[in-house]
Amino acid sequence: MADEKIYRPDERMKRHPCFSKEAHHKFGRIHLPVAPACNIQCRYCIRKYDCANESRPGITSRVMQRDEAMERVRAVVDRNDNISVIGIAGPGDPLANDATFETMYAIHKEFPEIILCVSTNGLYLPEKLEELMKAGVRSLTVTINAVTPGMAEKVYSWASYKGRRYTGRDAATLILNNQWRGLTNAIDAGLIVKVNTVFIPGVNDIEIPLIAWHAGERGADIMNIMPLIPQAEFEGRERPSQEMINKKRAECEKHIPQMTHCRQCRADACGILGEDKDMELETLNARIGEEYCEMV
């Protein structure tokens, strides 16, 4: 195994296409869809498998097993020298799936120079942070959509935690407590941390600047305000315009730097942001290349 290289936070920021606007033109990432189970039901979320015609979070062409994911990583990295990040962002919540940790351990062992990243709703973050770090994860995104339990109750339908299902105010309070505690712990542990917030017009507008303030005070590196994709329980809601998003970012940037180049990626995204490659095709081409080399 090559010598492990743990980049300093500023170096990680410069090489991570989701954290750096400059990096997203130079470096690519791979999202591995190995995490189908989820522990929270967001009222705006529909998770889909076998979905090739949409581009949004929570969907993938199919769920992969760990060994299959490793095969994809080897094929894509071999054919693309600009892959700097490998992440797990679903299609469920990575921390609710053992495959997340197994896959990250395996990747870190074989590709220690690549930055490992996880995107989570934060419910299991306080108790899973140490295991994440042991697996080599040094970059984290936490989706936080509220500050007060009353607002969280409007955004989340239920939470499943340690074998028990929570609803209503109990679920909202549990989610917020764990999200903010986990976020603080991750920052204190030295991870580079991004906070994702879904902008739901008429629902959580007023609390988004509060999220920015709390995240900035704790030392999070960047915030990503994402427009609602009207679906599920919020199907009839308005999708915020770019003007609305820009205005909200302007309110928040005094508290924390704002991300402006998000593409709301699929759980199986691959390549440079906005120029995704087909992972299946990349793997097939790699196999053809290997077979050709064996023939000659």
3-state secondary structure the chain: CCCCCCCCHHHHHHHCCCCCCCHHHCCEEEECCCECCCCEEECCCCCECCCCCCCCCCECCCCCCHHHHHHHHHHHHHHCCCEEEEEECCECCHHHCHHHHHHHHHHHHHCCCCEEEEEECCCCHHHHHHHHHHCCEEEEEEECCCCCHHHHHHHEEEEEECCEEEEHHHHHHHHHHHHHHHHHHHHHCCCEEEEEEEECCCCCHHHHHHHHHHHHHHCCCEEEEEECCCCHHHCCCCCCCHHHHHHHHHHHCCCCCECCCCCCCCCCCEEECCEECCHHHHHHHHHHHHHHHHHC
Sequence-ordered list of residues with C-beta below 8 angstroms from that of 66, at least 6 positions apart, any chain: 34, 99, 102, 103, 106
Inside any domain, residue 3 = no
Residue 17, phi then psi, degrees to nearest 5: -65, -20
Omega into 57 within 30° of 0, i.e. cis?
Answer: no
Which one, of 40, 3, 52, lies nearest residue 160 by Cα? 40
- We report the CATH number of the domain holding residue 153 as 3.20.20.70
Which residue segment(s) compose the domain that 240 sits in? 9-291
> Can you give the pLDDT of all 296 residues of the chain as single tens digits?
344 445 455 665 565 666 656 555 567 778 898 999 999 999 998 866 554 444 455 555 678 888 998 998 888 877 766 777 888 988 899 999 999 999 999 999 999 988 999 999 999 999 999 999 999 999 999 999 999 999 999 999 999 999 999 999 999 999 999 999 999 999 999 999 999 999 999 999 999 999 999 999 999 999 999 999 898 999 999 899 999 999 999 999 999 999 986 555 665 666 555 555 555 544 545 444 444 444 54
Inside any domain, residue 176 = yes
Inside any domain, residue 1 = no
Inside any domain, residue 285 = yes
Q: Are 200 and 237 in contact (CB under 8 A)?
A: yes
pLDDT score at 201:
95
pLDDT score at 240:
94
Q: What is the pLDDT of residues 52-99, one digit of tens each?
A: 444 455 555 678 888 998 998 888 877 766 777 888 988 899 999 999
**pTM for the model:** 0.82
Inside any domain, residue 296 = no
Total domain count for the chain? 1
Q: Which residues pair with 228 in a beta bridge?
A: none
Inside any domain, residue 4 = no
User: Which residue has tokens 């954290």?
Assistant: 19
Inside any domain, residue 72 = yes
